[in-house]
Structure 1
Amino acid sequence: MPEETLFKTEERVTRADVADALRDAADQLDSGSVRLASDTEDRTVSVPESPRFEVELERLTDSETGDQRYELEYEIRWTK
């Protein structure tokens, strides 16, 4: 199945800003739709009553430097 990115943003922010964004996302999920906005994009999507929810924590190691980084991902998905 081909992938199509409909919205993406990434920026360095404070932990408090991340927490605020997640609280806002939770409030929007409760309402049934989520608005995603950046300086250049704006998209609203309806989320069904019972989507699939995945939480993943990964430790990744840079093969050249040996530096480690962590990724914590919250994923919500559904079929149309």
Structure 2
Amino acid sequence: MSEEVLFESERSQSRSDIAATLRAVADKLDAGESITLRGGDQSLELDPPERPEFEIKAEREIEGGVEELSVEFELEWTPGDADDGPVSVE
């Protein structure tokens, strides 16, 4: 399977700014509205279905003795997948 990046943005931001971005996405999802991603000269509108697949992943990478931690939140449009119930963030 091939993968095409439709939109990408990566930069250092304050925790408050990150929370505001996540909150804006959450508000759009809660309202059943499409999500528009904008950054620089890029813009992409996405309309997730009522029940997209939701993945939360935490990772640790060590390269050259340097440790990097990450957490990823991902929505996928994968019809027919099993519903394993909600996950909470604390």
TM-score (norm 2): 0.81
Q: CA RMSD in A?
A: 1.3
2:53·2:78 contact (CA, 8 Å) conserved in 1?
Answer: no
Structure 2 unmatched runs, 5+: 80-90
**Across the two proteins, how many residue pairs are aligned to each other?**
78
Q: Does 1:72 align with 2:66?
A: no
2:37·2:45 contact (CA, 8 Å) conserved in 1?
Answer: yes
Shift of 1:47: 0.5
Structure 1 unmatched runs, 5+: none
Q: What residue is the counterpart of 1:3 in the other structure?
A: 3
Q: Does 1:20 align with 2:14?
A: no
What CA distance in whole angstroms lies between the structure 1 residues aligned with 2:34 and 2:75?
Answer: 12
Shift of 1:32: 3.0
TM-score (norm 1): 0.90
Shift of 1:10: 0.6
Shift of 1:33: 1.1
Runs of 4+ in 1 over 4 A off after TM superposition: none
